[in-house]
A and B are shown apart, each in its own frame.
Chain A
Amino acid sequence: MHEFAVTKHMTELVLNEAQNAGAAKVTDIYLAIGDISTFINESVQLFFDMYSKDTIAEGAQLHFRRIPAEFICRACGQSFTPRGGDNFDCPACGGLGKPTDKGHEFYVEKIDII
């Protein structure tokens, strides 16, 4: 359900960029998605096919670059991706981790047009 609204925003953004660039067709869309954003590739694809129908982006190939969450240990400074989903503790020293910007990404990197 979440992807329903955000894919609409994404499709509008892509169409706007494509029109500004004078595109006749959008062939490829490159997305950066952080794992913390909780968006699922397949759902984005499903809703994109729906929203892009009868537009110049219809049939465009979506490319997903997934970015793992990166935490940093408050005690020793070690970077790590929380594993197992039941704690945010540093695998090196057991200190309490803290989220960084990595893993929150949700943007259109580039599009290919003809």
Chain B
Amino acid sequence: MEVKVMKPILGGNQCIADTNRRDFAAHQLYLINVMASPGAGKTSTLMRLLPELQADHAVGIIEGDIASSIDAEKFQKIGVPVIQINTGGGCHLDAEMIRRSVPELKLAPGGFVFIENVGNLVCPASFDLGEDLKFVILSVSEGDDKPYKYIEIFERADVVILNKTDLKPYIDFNDEYFRRGVRALNENAPIFEISCKTGEGVRELADWLKQRNRAKQAC
């Protein structure tokens, strides 16, 4: 006997993500899902961003890693509350993990929650966490062709951050080719160029984030 199903395979995760979005909005939290390949500078970007935000907002981190707590310890050292999730080999975080972790941060209303996803440009793209913004960070040393190879993640990004721009003089990174690829997939995501080495561009990104957070809380 044939049974028609026609149901999305990740429908269960989507359902939890939708609930997360409602619940965290009720608690006036602003969630940002930070996605990038290993080594693109997720942790470094956050280490640069946090001091720009902390004066005006509570900030907490959910740290996703396959194993280890190296990154979590860096945030603890600067006094930022952090929840470590070790996926035990899993290549991404899912909405249920976020649902369990966010309340443990005990953040004040108006706070930012940065979710540092597992380093990977493929799997995290498919799993909605219930976040307000998806960050995709790419470093110039990874190459200008990444939007053409990792379609889904650039398509779903709300913000694209190009990191390690201080290395541009040493690398054949074609800005125009990169931007054309991003724009084909994504008309709206702003592209911020930053350098975690020099700090260039970080304040502009922080100001933009604060503005977005305020706009959400004003709704």
Contacts and interface: CB of A to CB of B under 8 A. Distances in A.
Say whether chain B's binding surface is mostly helix, strand, loop, or mixed: mixed
Interface residues of B, number: 33
B5 A111 contact: yes
A106 B8 contact: yes
Contacts of A110: 2-6
Question: Which range holds the interface residue count of chain A?
Answer: 35 or more
Interface in A56-114: 69, 71, 82, 85-88, 96-99, 104, 106-114
Contact of A104 (B11, B90, B152, B184): B152
A114 to B, nearest CB: 7
Interface string B82-106: 0000000111101000000000000
B133 to A, nearest CB: 20
B149 A88 contact: no
Contact of B123 (A1, A17, A99, A108): A1
B55 to A, nearest CB: 39
Given A88-B185, A96-B184, A113 B3 contact: yes
Contacts of B119: none
A109 B6 contact: yes
B185 A99 contact: yes
Interface of B: 1-13, 89-92, 94, 122-123, 126, 145, 148-149, 151-152, 155, 180-181, 183-185, 187
